[in-house]
Structure 1
């Protein structure tokens, strides 16, 4: 019979440049699932490529784009936010099902890819920085944008990237306060700039 800890598995979830998400057993280091967020395979679909961590997943990736951010959530349990360099992010189950899609409300897809993300410690909000310089604040429970910060990349990097919008490399959220931090690796940015947003 399973022990009292059988329902409390230790799982590690990773995103990859090949467009997949891997779910690992944290105790045995075995790859449990190789998941692929929806993309070329059609809206609402999720593809499980298998349990072999080295298995090729084919050419059916999210436009060939990397998964740069994966955030396991404590609420709702057994879910994660998956963000790739595309105009959509997903709330997915650990087995690969799509629960909710996060998309911009202006419909922009070309030049509006998601480039950095962070989830608030309460799991209520997901903040996503876009390629064209916005920061979208989504409600995790509804998938709707609650706020859009325009000029986010310019303010966060102190640069316009030589005629184009500078790109935010990463976001961080304070563990107890409503503070968001943004940083960039842009060549034209002011060195060591970390911008805090309230």
Structure 2
């Protein structure tokens, strides 16, 4: 059931930005600031650039300052903005506000240290009993300075559609549903990354027939497995066909596109064993002719004595382990499809193989009255 696709490269900075947007939209201010500072990544988005520019051009500083506080802007542009606000507060004779901005903000504190003359000029303007626009705005006008500042700051910000994190998760779930990996109405556990499973169901023995799946007169299942996430029931038949069933209805899962198109997974000979990867995304099957398939075909390469009797997939799906009638274990790399290692594991017929759920340990068992645990 695994499908091959071209790799998409996602920048870590973009992931951080999406999380920052989530924090911003949910008023997680402390988390927002901490994440932005630790990662040295800035969100630098506004709801609307046009509205943001209009607010600056109109001098609506009560709307501008809260947005600027969440942006990472070049120091020079911030200094120009705060200087303009101090000048306009002085013109309105809002002197207490002007002094608070001048003396209590980090931007103006840096200006005081590094540009003392520029800073002192603003201090002097605040102690005068009059306001001279020509002197304050230095042969320009209030409107022209606002326009210059708005354009300079607007080049540093962008607009992103709201709730990008939730939208992307929604798109991913829709894709999985479209691919048949997430049946309609299925609850999804985002934390585990799987369909939600009932954890509180009390275990008890069966007494009632729920469904009966009939096969053709000349075929029958040689093996069957439920997937670890509980979504699939897979059967492997003596005629080499592998089918995925809806165990709730007892019918073939037609929401898997390849089954709807009747392009079934197949071997040339009877399928004797099957196993899922732990995430239920990959299915390995072994046939009587000594071949293993996972979207790819793995073969022992032997004409006689190389038939596989059992197989197991590693937890991350990187390795496929098969045991054959020749008492050997075949170790295939899923990525390359090559047989990377071959070794004899028992002295009599091997019965099966299984992999530890999260450690590099493989157990094999055979008719020689032993079970052996193998490690790197």
TM-score, L = length of structure 1: 0.63
2:237 aligns with 16
Give 1:29 deviation, angstroms.
2.3
The answer to whether 1:144 aligns with 2:348 is no
**For residues 124 and 89 of structure 1, do their structure 2 counterparts lie closer, same or farther at Cα, with a shift above 3 Å needed?**
same
The answer to whether 1:38 aligns with 2:232 is no
Contact kept in structure 1, 2:288 and 2:307, CA below 8 Å:
yes
Question: Counterparts of 1:5-154 in structure 2 under 5 Å?
Answer: 7=177, 8-9=182-183, 10-32=231-253, 33=259, 35=264, 37-39=266-268, 62=269, 65=270, 67-73=271-277, 77=281, 79-91=282-294, 99-104=295-300, 107-149=301-343, 151-154=344-347
Gaps of 5+ in 1: 40-61, 92-98, 155-165
Pairs aligned (count):
143
C-alpha separation in 2, matches of 1:73 and 1:119: 6
C-alpha separation in 1, matches of 2:346 and 2:330: 12
Deviations 1:107-126 (A, max 9, x none): 31212111111011111101
Highest Rg: 1 or 2?
2
Q: Compare the two structures and name the one with the higher helix fraction.
A: 2
Instruction: Point out which structure has higher relative CO (alpha carbons under 8 A, 6+ apart).
Output: 1
C-alpha separation in 1, matches of 2:339 and 2:345: 15
Q: Compare the two structures and name the one with the higher strand fraction.
A: 1
C-alpha separation in 2, matches of 1:124 and 1:171: 16
C-alpha separation in 1, matches of 2:339 and 2:279: 19
Give 1:140 deviation, angstroms.
1.1
- The Cα RMSD (Å) is 2.5
SS in 1 for 2:346: helix
1:95 aligns with none
Give 1:173 deviation, angstroms.
0.7
Deviations 1:37-76 (A, max 9, x none): 232xxxxxxxxxxxxxxxxxxxxxx1xx3x2222344779
C-alpha separation in 2, matches of 1:17 and 1:76: 23
Deviations 1:16-44 (A, max 9, x none): 344332210133221235845232xxxxx
4+ long deviations beyond 4 Å: 73-77
Contact kept in structure 1, 2:313 and 2:320, CA below 8 Å:
yes
Contact kept in structure 2, 1:183 and 1:195, CA below 8 Å:
yes
SS in 1 for 2:283: strand
Q: Structure 1 stretch 125-134 or stretch 27-36: which is displaced more?
A: 27-36
1:161 aligns with none
Gaps of 5+ in 2: 1-172, 184-230, 254-258
